[in-house]
Amino acid sequence: MTAPPHPTTVPNVIDIPRELAASQEKYNGEAGRAFIEGLPDLTAGFLDRWGLEPDGPPMHGVSALVLPVRRADGSPAVLKLQILDEESEGEPVALRVWDGDGAVRLLDHDEPTGTMLLERLDETRMLSHIPDPHQAVVTIAELLAHLTSFPAPPGMRRLGDIARAMLDRTPWALDRIPDPEARRLVADCAAAVREVVDEPGDRLLHWDLHDENVLASDRAAWLAIDPKPLAGDPGFELWPAIDNRYDPDDILWRFDAMTDVLALDRPRARAWTLGRLLQNALWDIEDGRPLDDDQLQIARRLRDHTG
C-alpha cells in the first residue's frame, strides 16, 4: 500500500488508524486515499461545527472512522465519518425512519459529506460476545422483524434493481467457474432469484445485520448499527446471521428459526437467501477470488432444504 501523502493526524485530537487507511486504499483506491488525506481536516471541522469534544480513542470498521465525543451539554455521542456512496447515503435516511426504534438514533447529519452524529452505544457489549450462537440468531431475527416492519421511503435503492443486475451478470460469471458442481450451484441460486425477482418487496432492509452490528445500550437491550439499506423482501436479510460463527450443521436450524420469527414464507425466503449467496459469488468472481467453500455449503444446504 502506498503511504498517505500527508500526516493522518488531527493535532491534539486523534491519529487516523492505519488499518482504516489500508482498507480505504484496498477497496476505494484513489477515492479512498483522498478520503484519508482529507479526514484530519474533515474531523476537526465537524468537531468545531457541532461543538464536540473528543472523548476516547477512535474506532473504525472497513470504511468509517467513529470517534467518541461529548456534545456541548455533556451528553455522549459518536462522530461517524465515511465515504459517501450508494450504500452510505441511505444510512441516515433509514435511521430517520427508525428514529431510534430498534436502531441507533441519528442526532445530526451533514448531507454533502455523509458525516453523522449518532447516539453512543456500548461497544464493549456486542452481540458477537454472547456465547450462545442460537440466542444471537434469534436476537437478530427479532430485530429484523421490527426493522423490516417499516416501509422503505421513496428514493431508497431497490432490491429488484440489484437482483436484475445480478441475473444479467450471471452468464458471464458462470463461464469463469471451472468446477462443474460449483457452477451448477451458482446457476441454481440464479434460477431461484428468477422465480422471485418480479416481486422484490418494499420493506426497509438493513442488509448487513450481523452480530458485530448489534450493540447494547442503557435504553434498549440491543440496537442495530451501520445499515446499508435498501427496499426489498425481508428474506434478503437472513444470510449474515446464518454465516456468523459459521457452523455447517447449524445452517438449517438458523434459517428455520429466523423465518419463524419473521413469519416469512419459507420457499420465498430461501430464494432470496440464495440471492445473497449469488451476490457473494459474483463479487468473488469479479475480484478474481475463488468461490468461498463456506458460502457454497450454505447455498447447497438451503437449495436442498425442503422444510
Catalytic residues: 208
Distance CA 243, CA 138 (A): 14
| E strand spans, 40-193 | 53-54, 59-60, 64-70, 76-82, 106-110, 115-119, 122-126
Whether residue 79 contacts residue 43, with contact meaning beta carbons closer than 8 Å, is answered with: yes
Distance CA 275, CA 287 (A): 18
Identify the burial level of 239 via C-beta atoms within 10 angstroms of its C-beta, where 0-12 means exposed, 13-18 middle and 19 or more buried.
buried
Smallest CA-to-CA distance from 299 within 246, 226, 239 is with: 239
Give residues with Cβ within 8 angstroms of 136, minimum separation 6. Answer: 127, 128, 130, 211, 241, 244, 245
Instruction: Cell numbers for 117, please give them.
Output: 452524529
